[in-house]
Amino acid sequence: MERLRKAKVISEDEAGLLRAYNGLRNAIVHKYDRLNLDAVRKGLSRIDELYEIVIKLVEKYEKLEE
């Protein structure tokens, strides 16, 4: 995420959101027996923004392949 931010592919806010979702993913994968469902619900509140970032990254990647 830091490389993408430094290359100005994503903004600082987008990088922060990706870091947050990476942390949420780690919590789900590694702490499944002690998972806080309220934290998961809160984390998923910005899922639409995550989707938009992924679409943006895919579009930029596709342009590289042209």
Q: Catalytic positions, please?
A: 25, 30
Q: Which two tokens stand for residue 31?
A: 């702490």
One DSSP character per residue, 16-38 reads HHHHHHHHHHHHHHH-GGG--HH
Position 14: which residue type?
Answer: E
